[in-house]
């Protein structure tokens, strides 16, 4: 009888465990449900609507037109100019944002005077509202602004309207870097601080110099952070429309006309099918770029592990 009771208990134990695990999963899904509903309502459902609009002639008649909207958008001269400007800005601003913030993080690691002051000054753009930032840059780079007044005292009397000339691109690039360097720098400082000291000590014992330690130890150890900062900078470069719009309006100087300007103008004219097609093309391009970045980071990480 005792043996039978033990066998019965052993048989019941897995069933009880399954019930316990099932109960925990149900509780987990219960807590996740509000977030999942929010993601579906505010992200998945609108994206599905955009996909549907991109294959219609318009939201009223709702006639299926295949890929004609995508062809029309791709052949549109304004879209091509906006796309080239956006890619040009991203391929310039993102490497600069990653490289300069990494250099700043390495400098902040060393023993320099007023390190706390410099760190706080680089983080100050994160605490300033966008509208205030735009107002400051308008005052600085206006035709009668601070920059032209300073140049006039140095002998350059030609007043440049920075935001309506070829130099507008430099102004935007400077604004982007000023806003993002501090945040990227903090991420790199955190990654550098997490490197095991034993690795650096071993490298020093092996007579490795500072550059060799940085290149072969530190840089490889923080490669996931470099990839994260690159992806975040890439996403932020596609979101720079907000600052350009507040600085220059709907139709800025040619070099500042971005994809978001094209889509915003299509939205203003209620051309939803062209807007949706442009948004999907932009989504595909960004996804491809991020995919290749992740593949590169994955291969680089395997090389580090080896």
* Residue of 154, 147, 143 whose CA lies nearest to 174: 147
Q: Is 62 within a domain?
A: no
- Residues 130 and 140: their CA atoms lie apart, in Å, by 15
Q: Does the structure show a pLDDT above 60 at 302?
A: no
Decide if 59 is inside a domain. Answer: no
* Residues 246-299: tens digit of each pLDDT: 888 777 888 888 888 888 888 888 888 888 888 898 888 888 888 888 887 777
Task: Verify that 73 and 48 share a domain, yes or no.
Answer: no
Contacts of 265 (CB under 8 A, 6+ apart): 250, 251
Average pLDDT, the chain: 81
Its domain, for residue 7, covers: 1-54
Residue 63 to residue 49: CA distance in whole angstroms:
14
Question: Does 47 share its domain with 73?
Answer: no
My answer on whether 179 and 234 are in the same domain is: yes
Structure tokens at 27: 């509780």
Least confident of 29-33, 51-55, 116-120: 116-120
224, part of any domain: yes
**63 in a structural domain:** no
* Stretch 187-200: mean pLDDT: 82
Q: Within this chain, do residues 248 and 221 fall inside the same structural domain, yes or no?
A: yes
Do 123 and 165 belong together in one domain? yes
Q: Do 124 and 249 lie in a common domain?
A: yes
Of 85, 241, 173, nearest in space to 250 by CA: 241
In the numeric block, which tokens belong to residue 79?
């879209």
Using 50, 70 and 90 to split pLDDT, how confident is the model at 7?
A: very low
Is 242 part of any domain?
Answer: yes
pLDDT value at 201 more than 50: yes
10-21: per-residue pLDDT in tens?
Answer: 445 555 555 565
88: its two tokens: 């040009």
Given pLDDT bands bounded at 50, 70 and 90, which one contains residue 306? Answer: very low
- CATH code assigned at 296: 1.10.3720.10
In terms of domains, do 144 and 292 share one?
yes
- If asked whether residues 19 and 140 sit together in one domain, one would say no
**Does the pLDDT value for residue 148 go beyond 90?**
no
Q: Is residue 96 part of a domain?
A: yes
Cα distance between residue 127 and residue 148, in whole Å:
27
Does 84 share its domain with 151?
yes
What's the pLDDT score for residue 216?
Answer: 73
Q: What is the pLDDT of residue 19?
A: 57
Give the pair of three-digit tokens for residue 298. 């994955």
Token pair 């006639």 is found at 63
Q: For residues 227 and 297, is the Cβ–Cβ distance under 8 A?
A: yes
173 within a domain of the structure (yes/no): yes
On whether both 143 and 251 belong to a single domain, the answer is yes
Q: Is residue 288 part of a domain?
A: yes
Q: What is the DSSP letter of 154?
A: T
| Residue 167 and residue 24 in one domain | no
Domain count for the chain, please give it. 2
Predicted local distance difference test score (pLDDT) of residue 92: 92
Q: Where do the H-state alpha helices sit in the chain?
A: 2-39, 45-54, 68-75, 77-109, 115-127, 130-141, 146-153, 168-193, 197-205, 210-213, 219-221, 223-238, 241-248, 259-268, 272-305
Cα(187)–Cα(190) distance, integer angstroms? 5
End-to-end CA distance of the chain: 59
Give the pair of three-digit tokens for residue 105. Answer: 């993080």
Tokens of 44: 């998945």
State if pTM tops 0.85: no
Same domain, residue pair 21 and 75: no
């Amino acid at each position: 009888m005792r043996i039978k009771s033990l066998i019965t208990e052993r048989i019941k134990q897995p069933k009880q465990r399954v019930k316990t695990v099932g109960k925990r999963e149900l509780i987990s899904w219960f807590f996740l449900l509000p977030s999942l509903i929010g993601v579906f309502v505010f992200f998945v459902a609108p994206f599905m609507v955009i996909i549907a609009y991109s294959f219609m002639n318009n939201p009223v008649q709702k006639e299926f037109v295949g890929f004609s909207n995508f062809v029309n958008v791709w052949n549109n001269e304004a879209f091509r100019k906006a796309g080239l400007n956006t890619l040009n800005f991203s391929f310039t601003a993102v490497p600069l944002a990653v490289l300069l913030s990494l250099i700043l993080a390495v400098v902040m690691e060393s023993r320099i005077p007023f390190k706390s002051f410099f760190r706080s000054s680089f983080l100050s753009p994160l605490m300033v509202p966008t509208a205030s930032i735009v107002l400051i840059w308008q005052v600085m780079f206006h035709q009668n602004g601070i920059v032209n007044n300073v140049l006039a005292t140095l002998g350059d009397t030609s007043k440049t309207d920075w935001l309506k000339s070829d130099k507008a691109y430099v102004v935007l690039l400077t604004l982007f870097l000023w806003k993002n360097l501090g945040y990227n720098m903090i991420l790199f400082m955190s990654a550098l601080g997490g490197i095991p000291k034993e690795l650096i000590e071993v490298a020093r014992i092996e007579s490795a110099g500072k550059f060799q330690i940085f290149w072969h130890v530190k840089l490889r150890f923080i490669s996931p952070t470099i990839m994260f900062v690159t992806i975040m900078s890439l996403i932020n470069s596609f979101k720079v429309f907000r600052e350009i719009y507040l600085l220059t309006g709907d139709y800025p100087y040619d070099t500042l006309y971005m994809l978001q300007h094209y889509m915003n103008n299509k939205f203003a004219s209620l051309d939803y099918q062209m807007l949706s097609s442009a948004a999907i093309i932009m989504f595909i391009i960004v996804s491809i770029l991020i995919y290749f970045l992740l593949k590169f980071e994955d291969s680089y990480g395997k090389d580090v592990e080896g």
